[in-house]
Structure 1
């Protein structure tokens, strides 16, 4: 009986070992694979490799040890043909895109550093020939600077006269009023521009007070706070380009000039920024009257063009994104009203973009009052005449804390005086009438560009820039023409001095004459409209872009990105682009600067 029990016990133990071995077979294979995969070189698959039966394992002299080796060998045979998968196309694409991003960033930083170095270390300039003609350029706006940028100053004695010694990128001026961009970021020193010309250019920071076109002299005066012993003098010219722009038009409305803020110069943007914070801080003053708070926080913008619309959008963003967080108790009472005498805002845009702008302003709680003409302005109210839908007219009074006047241009006194001297300009009202080559009608050797000229185009920065570029090509061609004519005259006089050389000289003269005809073939100025852009707030913009034979109209957040990229590309220098981009990033991360000064 005892021997039977012992046999039964052995049989049970063997059966137990068998069942355990069979049960752990998959896990044993997996566990031993990690230690044996790198060492094995077998190529036989698991499907073709014989597996020992359980009885053979049980009869093995070493028992479980043989079982482990068999499991390891079997799994190694099965795992051997498995190769590492190749990365997919998407992963490879992203890898190369990542590398391209790093490379672009590296090249971009290198380009900025090189540009900064070249700006600080310009090439040496040479003094122009005093025998050459004197070209005087008045102003440092879009037209004048575009002319200087492309003009070969080696052909003339160039003199620049302007009351400001910088070029201002005016499209981003509304962003300066709310601290989204610092004013220094959109200014380019004129002397920095002139320092990179081949021939030296003289610059005088002065105001041109009179142009005597008969004597061909310009009277200038020093209008700075610090004056020397000589405050007024005269500058003679052989050729004159007038690009002094225009001043703000008040249309003779009482109180506009005394009580309004304009938006044409840097000092205007600074004054608006100061007054905005004055209104905010005064409205937050302890125990301030409720009606006075409503008046102080009511910002009125007159003018529905791009400047007025962009300023209204920037103002609304400023309160929604910054003031609302810092002074939440007064932010719900903030209000923006846009007044426009025409039936719609942005009249130069397509109908669908006008509708989109008006609907966006409605969402932003910006009130638009069209067909409304301002009649009088006081220090606290605007009196306006509204044309009702039925054609009737009524008067309204609008209290305000800040009034920004962004509509219309007026002729400067300098231009009025010149027009009075030229009989052919008697009928002109909006500026100097010019012909198709931008020559001032009735005068000789005088050209005009920009807002002070009447060439049949809208007074925009885009028009002025193209006019300046046209004049640069014209003046460069005129210099080439004179050089070619002089050379032809010299060769013609020496034609019979050297016998046997007549054929060569004649061939050279013919070549110069052909070149002269090409240079003289200058077509009249023709403005090419590239499109219109405007920011409308809430990180949205509208764009009406010329494309092929038609226009492409778009609006929204993607257009806003296009608006930013377009304005960055239009900035005068790499320095301006870097500063503007950094200002945008700073405002996005830390908010706008709400300091008063």
Structure 2
């Protein structure tokens, strides 16, 4: 081969190698720029180092006693009166250096990273607690890419409580209205940490929540602290007994799935005991007398479900004692369903009379024993009378009381000293006297009725609020970047100025946060015999409806409110199964 050819080939190989190396360098720089752009947009960096890459640091985090996260700068001033808190950005800056310089040392805060969703330090934590409708709406709608989320709840499932009365008679199986928390959280864009534990104490000074493992199996550690930056409380309320003797010891409540299972078991206990050979007529009448205290939607729906159960199934399966069954509804107010229109109240009371359900209005329970209810009623002339009602089952559905953890927190906040029904909140659901605690649902006093509908809208409002906080941080970071580029590259000043102005307009829109406003969408209640009542808001008025068609609307509405397609399918199957084969009367 001629010498000049060898030189040409060598020159070609060197040129190709140089071009390939330049191409790799350009590709690496483009990748680094993409990492930096992704970091500015989403609040975290993706460095190439193996340890650092295994632990992305996202802006905030959430905990379900609450959700946990860093507060975007400047946004909190819109909803609280205190000064803003600037987040610690040192870890993010270190990651930025690592992303753009592969020779940079690994930051110390990343050398022992294990969980990609773990909060880096107490100042980066936001917390939410509960597993009701309010909590579910936040967990479902919150953008977890912007927050490190930790969920703390005493139960590892969501419960659709509007259909809980149907579980007491076997019309619906309890697992059909339960949705595992982890099944919902696994579909979030970013990892979410969940702890099944009960929040036992809140320290607003140290910004920590004390949690306790409430499972039957105990490990070496059963109590720990969760730090937070922002705390969202949605623990609900407990049953109110109004200090009446014997209520808590002798009655059943209807708030949790365990309550529904207990009621179902006791109904069958009463039926089987009443059918026992040699039972006296007086004892049979007592055992088959079911008393419901509370004329709200829960009490009315349970009374209707109970009457259906005996008419459709018990009469067929136990005909000897079927005619002795009786349901009595006790209400302290002048009528049942006080939140409904007068027309629907009258329709409900007339339907109950047709179903032979006794209604005792203007009657207050004074004492409860294991076999009788002592009450004081009001006669039409205004005089009082004492009533003694024997019963086999007593279900108490009369209102809410403040949980001990909320009472303890109220005592720690001077501005809450006059609050007796829960945590008083402002129009943005911030607990009065604090700047980093929110409260929603039955544990909050926001001026609305303690219903699932209110709690759900409050949860959706806070999810939007937190998402706006993250957008604010992203836009402010973009404005700072554009401003710095404007000084470095004056040639693009016109275009950069227009982009800055657009970002500032968007920031003003996001920061113009409207206070929480509840929109009443209507009230529904099942009243038995495949009939329901609905008081639905329409334009500037309400539409009142009752009957069999309303019953179909009631079922459709509740079906659409279920948490998942799985829940909807299981509920439909339970309805069809009960219609075809009757309710399951076996005792668990």
Q: Note closer, same or farther for the CA distance 1:128–1:371 as it changes in structure 2 (3 Å cut).
A: farther
Q: How do 1:197-346 and structure 2 match up within 5 A?
A: 197-346=188-337
- From 141, 163, 166, give the equivalent of 1:172: 163
| 1:497-554, Cα deviation, whole Å (9 max, x unpaired) | 1231222222221111011111112211110000000000001000000111110001
Q: 1:129 corresponds to which residue?
A: 57
Please say if residues 231 and 438 of structure 2, whose CA atoms lie closer than 8 Å, have aligned partners that are also in contact.
yes
Q: Where does residue 441 of structure 1 map in the other structure?
A: 432
1:402-481 matches, cutoff 5 A: 402-481=393-472
Q: Does 1:589 align with 2:580?
A: yes
What is the TM-score when the length of structure 1 is the normalising length?
A: 0.78
Deviations 1:241-286 (CA, angstroms, capped at 9, x unpaired) = 1000000000000000000000000000000000000000000000
Corresponding residue for residue 528 of structure 1:
519
Q: CA contact under 8 A between 1:205 and 1:222: conserved in structure 2?
A: yes
Is the CA contact 1:218–1:234 (under 8 Å) kept in the aligned structure 2? Answer: yes
Does structure 2 conserve the Cα–Cα contact (< 8 Å) formed by 1:127 and 1:199?
no
In structure 2, C-alpha distance between the alignment counterparts of 1:141 and 1:129, rounded to whole Å: 29
2:140 corresponds to which residue? 149
In 2, are the aligned partners of 1:128 and 1:199 still within 8 Å (CA)? no
TM-score where L is the length of structure 2 = 0.79
- Is residue 246–residue 409 contact of structure 1 (8 Å, CA) maintained in 2? yes
Counterpart CA distance in 2 for 1:431 and 1:410 is: 8
Cα deviations by residue, 1:176-216 (Å, 9 ceiling, x for unpaired):
00000000000010001100100111110000011111111
For the aligned residue pairs, the C-alpha RMSD in angstroms reads: 1.0
1:156-184 deviation per Cα after TM superposition (whole angstroms, max 9, x unaligned): 11111110011000000000000000000
Contact between 2:364 and 2:377, CA under 8 Å: does it hold in 1?
Answer: yes
Counterpart for residue 23 of structure 1: none
The number of residue pairs the alignment matches comes to 472
1:409-442 CA-partner distances (Å, limit 9, x unpaired): 0000111111110011111111100111101110
Distance 1:414 1:395 in 2: 37
Q: d(CA) in 1 for partners of 2:440 and 2:487? A: 47
Counterpart CA distance in 2 for 1:370 and 1:572 is: 36
C-alpha contact (below 8 Å) 1:137/1:158 kept by paired residues: no
Instruction: Describe the shift of the 1:392–1:426 C-alpha distance in structure 2 as closer, same or farther (beyond 3 A).
Output: same
Contact 2:131–2:155 at 8 Å: present in 1 too? Answer: yes
**SS state of the match for residue 356, structure 1?**
helix
2:445 is the alignment partner of 1:517: no
The list of structure 1 runs, each at least 4 consecutive aligned residues, that deviate by more than 3 angstroms after superposition, is none
- Work out whether residues 128 and 200 of structure 1, in 8 Å CA contact, stay in contact via their aligned partners in 2: no
- Measure the CA separation in 2 of the matches of 1:493 and 1:142: 45
Matched with 2:544 is 553
Q: Deviations over 1:91-129 (max 9, x none)?
A: xxxxxxxxxxxxxxxxxxxxxxxxxxxxxxxxxxx9762
CA drift at 1:141: 0.7
Q: Structure 1 128/377 Cα, relative in aligned 2: closer, same or farther at 3 Å?
A: farther
Gaps of at least 5 residues in structure 1 are 1-125
Which residue number corresponds to residue 539 of structure 1? Answer: 530
* SS of 1:262 mapped into structure 2: coil
CA distance in 2, matches of 1:486, 1:440: 29
Q: How many angstroms apart in 1 are the aligned matches of 2:372 and 2:386? A: 13
Residue in 1 that maps onto 2:65: none
Query: Per-residue deviation at 1:298?
Result: 0.2
Shift of 1:491: 2.3
Match of 1:399?
A: 390
CA contact (8 A) 1:146 1:468 kept: yes
- SS of corresponding position for 1:536: strand
- C-alpha separation between the residues in 1 aligned to 2:367 and 2:257? 26
Counterparts of 1:373 and 1:263, CA distance in 2: 19
Q: How far apart, CA to CA, are the structure 2 residues paired with 1:252 and 1:261?
A: 16
Instruction: Determine the C-alpha separation between the residues in 1 that align with 2:56 and 2:295.
Output: 47
> Within 1, Cα distance between the matches of 2:429 and 2:55?
29
Cα deviations across residues 15-52 of structure 1 (Å, max 9, x unaligned)? xxxxxxxxxxxxxxxxxxxxxxxxxxxxxxxxxxxxxx
Q: Is the 8 A contact 2:59 2:146 kept in 1?
A: no
* 1:503 maps to 2:494: yes
Bigger radius of gyration, 1 or 2?
Answer: 1
User: 1:569 — aligned with what?
Assistant: 560
Contact 2:365 2:374 in 1 (8 A): yes
Q: Offset of 1:131 from its aligned partner?
A: 5.1
Kindly provide the CA deviation profile for residues 358-396 of structure 1, in whole angstroms up to 9, marking residues without a partner as x.
000000000000000000000000000111111111211
Report if aligned partners of 2:59, 2:147 keep a CA contact under 8 Å in 1: no
Which residue matches 1:75?
Answer: none
